[in-house]
Amino acid sequence: MTTTPVDVAVERVRGVYGRWRRDTPISEMRADWDSLFPAPAQDVVLRADSAAGVEVLWVIAPPAAAAQESAPPRVLLYFHGGGYKLGSVTSHRDLMARIGAAAHCRVLGVNYRLAPEAHFPAPVHDALAVYEWLIAAGVPPAQIAVGGDSAGGGLAAALLLSLRDRGGALPAAAVLLSAWTDLTAQGESYTTRAEADPIHQRAMILATARQYLGPHGDACNPLASPLFGDLAGLPPLLLQVGDRETGLDDSVRFAAKARAAGVRADLEVYEDMIHVFQQFAADIPQARLAIAAIGRFLYGIWGEPTAKGDASMLGIAC
């Protein structure tokens, strides 16, 4: 039987999961998860920063730096996945660098608060704080896109809903990768893809949701499960998801509901792909194709730079 790049990625993930026990400290689990993914290429600029008291990381690939020497910076505000308890800007450095290179934009990764130390809606508050900090630093909303994968994709969608409901300026677009938009896990794919998905099953998803929500959180709150929100008025969306995912319907249903509300929602379902396959771009060709598609989507939204200016004036030069 032929071993595929996806098989290799699955075994790497299982190798990490397999070391964990009920008494494994959360700090050890997070360190294991961070070490699962590679560092970006050496020519990528990484700079830690603080945004409204939230830890963030600037990730600038050479194409992004060169593209914006004579134009206001375009920034992708990115929220990592990990079930609201794992993941960090460290685990997602390579993915953020690859997306930034494809879209010729800077990426600002956010270390939002995680469970069990913090519960819903703490990550939403952190997302809002960083977005508002970025605007206060001088980046126009039209030059900002938001994105995220898995829980981070759900958080990016929740940020959009929160901004719209507050009457705040929305970003230009959003990129949602295997987004977790329904913490109740009601989609049919949790059953139809149960045998195909080698990593995530409904019982695990529901347990993770309970940990994030804490004793008082409501899984039907749109800021926890954006699928249950009114999606009217959101900016253009790109959703990518693997066909083998139990959470496939979280993206399919979200895209359909957004379209019904008059929102542009481009849905890309990748055959035989697993949850957030884009993180394994060094090994999986389809992941590189998906990242290239993200770049085309964002560049299509932003268009060619027209305004001249010095990015360092914004106080976020890296």
Instruction: Report if residue 316 sits inside a domain.
Output: no
Instruction: Report if residue 4 sits inside a domain.
Output: no
Instruction: Report if residue 5 sits inside a domain.
Output: no
Residue 111 β-bridge partners: 55
Instruction: Report if residue 215 sits inside a domain.
Output: yes
Instruction: Report if residue 52 sits inside a domain.
Output: yes
Q: Give the tens place of pLDDT for each residue, 159-168.
A: 999 999 999 9
Q: Is the dihedral of CA 309, 147, 161, 230 positive or negative?
A: positive
Active-site residue among 91, 104, 225, 245? Answer: 245
Q: What angle do CA 271, 175, 162 make, to 5 degrees?
A: 135
pLDDT at 90: 98
Check pLDDT > 60 for residue 150: yes
> Which strands form 144-149's sheet, in the order they lie side by side?
45-51, 54-60, 106-111, 75-79, 144-149, 173-177, 237-242, 265-270
Question: Which of the two residues, 40 and 2, has the higher pLDDT score?
Answer: 40
Check pLDDT > 50 for residue 283: yes
Nearest C-alpha neighbor of 278 from the set 2, 4, 6:
6
Active-site residue among 80, 104, 200, 275? Answer: 275
Active-site residue among 150, 162, 189, 225? Answer: 150
Q: Give the tens place of pLDDT for each residue, 219-248.
A: 999 999 999 999 999 999 999 999 999 999
- Integer distance in angstroms from the first to the last C-alpha of the chain? 48
Instruction: Report if residue 240 sits inside a domain.
Output: yes
Helical residues (DSSP H) of the chain, grouped into ranges: 5-17, 26-36, 62-67, 93-103, 122-136, 151-166, 189-192, 202-213, 248-260, 285-302
Measure the CA–CA gap between 165 and 157, rounded to whole angstroms: 13
pLDDT band at 250 (very low <50, low <70, confident <90, very high): very high
CATH classification of the domain holding 76:
3.40.50.1820
pLDDT at 73: 84
Question: Which of the two residues, 312 and 74, has the higher pLDDT score?
Answer: 74
Contact 24, 31 (CB under 8 A): no
Count other Cβ atoms within 10 Å, centred on residue 156: 27
Measure the CA–CA gap between 43 and 120, rounded to whole angstroms: 37
* Catalytic-residue membership of 162: no
* Catalytic-residue membership of 70: no
* Catalytic-residue membership of 150: yes
Instruction: Report if residue 229 sits inside a domain.
Output: yes
Measure the CA–CA gap between 225 and 191, rounded to whole angstroms: 19
Q: What residues make up the domain containing 68?
A: 25-302
Nearest C-alpha neighbor of 79 from the set 179, 184, 167, 161:
179
Query: Domain tally for the chain?
Result: 1
Nearest C-alpha neighbor of 147 from the set 171, 126, 176, 172:
176
pLDDT at 314: 38
What predicted TM-score, i.e. pTM, was given to this entire model? 0.94
Count other Cβ atoms within 10 Å, centred on residue 184: 15
Check pLDDT > 60 for residue 3: yes
pLDDT at 315: 42
Measure the CA–CA gap between 134 and 116, rounded to whole angstroms: 27
Instruction: Report if residue 112 sits inside a domain.
Output: yes
